Structure 1
Amino acid sequence: MTNDAGILLESGTNELEIIEFEINSNKFGINVLKVREIIQPLPLTPIPHAHPNVLGIIQLRGEVLPVISMEKALKINPAANKDIANEKFIVAEFNKQKVVFQVHHVTQIHRISWKQIEKPANLYSVDSSHIIGVIKRDIEMILLVDFEKIVVDINPDSGIHVDKIKSLGVRERSLKRIVAAEDSPLLRKLLQETLSAAGYEYVEFFENGEDALEYLQSFSENGTNVYDEVHLVITDIEMPKMDGHYFTKKIKENPNLSKLPVIIFSSLITEDLRHKGDVVGAIEQISKPEINELVLKIDQHIM
């Protein structure tokens, strides 16, 4: 199975397609946009002293890629009788890197609305959760996995770091106000720290595009010029209720908001998917964790 651009949804529909896979009969999901292909397992080369979740490396069409056990990453007890014949490798690409995830079984593709995805909220702690959403389907549930966190747990250097901002040098403090939509509590905290270190102390955070849009619309409803209160918007793409593409589209369609510059800051920024942000009117699209680039683009476009 390959990630054929022909099956991808149009931009700004607030829908997504997920690939359902199983680990010991537990059902999980991954956004189709992250998946390059699904293949049969290839011979593994073990790496001495590797992270416990890394099974080894494979060579795929000239590329050497790490293989991560989803069973180990999600801390699921091994099954007594594994069905090795159904095991699959999911080749994923996000944050400008390719990673292979070993799963026990790939079942089907679901097309759903982001409104159908519930936030785990207080069920999991900020630092340990690998689940970013819950999808209810009849009597079963599918858990959306935070693949970025799985990779950062193995390689912390691949995440966002405040000290990366120091390379930009001393900068003037800014009174400009920013609205940011990001569903991950951990990333909201990191963004707040990094943007503050860069001089942007006035950032209003929201868990999803729907809440952020309501906030932006409230200014005109109260007779206030939004451009006096908000100068730039930052948004992730994958968020429950309303994703970043649909959020951006709604801003650009609203005559009271359309002049706000919107920067998409997401792990899903690749050359194959960049057109999606262009279609909905994003002024910039930056891949996580390129926080330096994000700050430089804010400097360039903030009103």
Structure 2
Amino acid sequence: METGILLESGTNELEILEFKVGSNYYGINVAKIKEILSYQEPTPIPNAHPCVEGIFMPREEIISIIDLAKNLNLAPSVDKSKDMYIVTNFNKLNIAFHVHGVVGIHRVSWADIIKPDDTVNSAGSGVATGIIKIDKRLIVILDFEKIVSDINPETGLRVSDIKQLEDRERNNSPIIMAEDSALLGKLIYDSLTKAGYTNVKRFKDGKAAWDQLCEYKKNGTIDENVHCVITDIEMPQMDGHRLTKLIKDDDDLKRVPVIIFSSLINDEMRRKGQMLGADEQLTKPEIGKLVGAVDRLIY
């Protein structure tokens, strides 16, 4: 089963693939998926992380397999005849996730996705980015980036890239950042601060950032309060593509540079961002390149 679902850019919608692990229902953004394959016995790797089940080679590329049941502390599959591999691509990595069955694909609005509260994602340790109700089922959308970075921290933000930028002059240019992950938001904020940007305002999703931009527009204070917008793509309430579209379609705001900083940047998503008018698009591990982009677009 290969995915080939294209959505119109900037509609604030996404496609969710619903799948099962044990008796629980989970979801993943279709934009992360390369293909879905039937389970095949993996080749184990000695001394690998306990959640890495092994590797397989569906074509000419070796792909690591993460056992989601083990990662989520659930019981293993009893009958593997219905098991599947969801082969993903994000953060420039190809990784397969072993699941116990695929239910189907749903087109939903980001506005309908509920952000889990701190009882679910305590201290940034949870792996749920959103919850949506479909046909009386609660589907938990998982944070696959966090699952992978917990296994191998080198796949997360390369904050070490900022070390060489710490002695730069301070810059008070106002930057708006929309990022729903509290942990990643803090890492990006801290990295920008270390690189000299001391006036960064953080917002939990695109809608909160857009509401603030509208307030600046209403007060006639855009130039004083925003010199650049940095946005993730995947966010509840309003995604980064919708936020970019709203900014670039607005006569008063369209001059504000927009940087899309997301794990989802691939050829297809890059084309969508270009169509919407994004000034720069970068994949999330490249925090050093993000600072370079801010430097170019603000000056």
1:238-259 per-residue CA deviation (whole Å, 9 max, x = no partner) reads 0000000000000111112111
Structure 2 letter corresponding to 1:45:
T
- Tell me the distance in 2 between the aligned counterparts of 1:201 and 1:154: 32
Aligned partner of 1:293 among 279, 286, 289 = 289
Aligned pairs for 1:107-186 within 5 A = 107-123=103-119, 124-168=121-165, 170-186=167-183
Displacement of 1:127: 3.0
Q: Secondary structure at the match of 2:86?
A: strand
1:158-214 per-residue CA deviation (whole Å, 9 max, x = no partner) reads 111432212346322111110000000000110111111111121101111011000
Q: Does 1:264 align with 2:260?
A: yes
Deviates most, 26-35 or 156-165 = 156-165
Structure 1 letter corresponding to 2:85:
F
Aligned to 1:55: 53
Displacement of 1:121: 1.9
- Tell me the distance in 2 between the aligned counterparts of 1:260 and 1:151: 34
Q: Secondary structure at the match of 1:180?
A: strand
Q: Does 1:191 align with 2:207?
A: no
Deviates most, 230-239 or 171-180 = 171-180
Structure 1 letter corresponding to 2:55:
I
Q: Secondary structure at the match of 1:122?
A: coil
- Tell me the distance in 2 between the aligned counterparts of 1:197 and 1:44: 43
CA contact (8 A) 2:157 2:285 kept: yes
- Tell me the distance in 1 between the aligned counterparts of 2:7 and 2:203: 25
CA contact (8 A) 1:161 1:190 kept: no
1:224-269 per-residue CA deviation (whole Å, 9 max, x = no partner) reads 3301211000000000000000000001111121110000000000
Deviates most, 118-127 or 266-275 = 118-127
Q: Does 1:234 align with 2:230?
A: yes
CA contact (8 A) 1:162 1:193 kept: no
1:96-123 per-residue CA deviation (whole Å, 9 max, x = no partner) reads 1100000000010000000010000222
Structure 1 letter corresponding to 2:279:
I
- Tell me the distance in 1 between the aligned counterparts of 2:42 and 2:118: 38
Q: TM-score, normalised by structure 2?
A: 0.97
- Tell me the distance in 1 between the aligned counterparts of 2:275 and 2:169: 34
Structure 2 gap segments, 5+ residues each: none
Q: Does 1:3 align with 2:10?
A: no
Structure 2 letter corresponding to 1:225:
T
Deviates most, 251-260 or 241-250 = 251-260
Aligned partner of 1:43 among 41, 44, 53 = 41
Q: TM-score, normalised by structure 1?
A: 0.95
Aligned partner of 2:93 among 94, 97, 103 = 97
Aligned partner of 1:67 among 65, 68, 89 = 65
Q: Secondary structure at the match of 1:118?
A: coil
Q: Secondary structure at the match of 1:109?
A: strand
- Tell me the distance in 2 between the aligned counterparts of 1:163 and 1:15: 34
Deviates most, 135-144 or 290-299 = 135-144
**Equivalent residue pairs, number:** 298
CA contact (8 A) 1:162 1:197 kept: no
- Tell me the distance in 1 between the aligned counterparts of 2:90 and 2:18: 18
- Tell me the distance in 2 between the aligned counterparts of 1:173 and 1:77: 52
Displacement of 1:46: 0.8
Structure 1 gap segments, 5+ residues each: none
CA contact (8 A) 2:157 2:287 kept: yes
RMSD after superposition: 1.3
Structure 2 letter corresponding to 1:279:
M
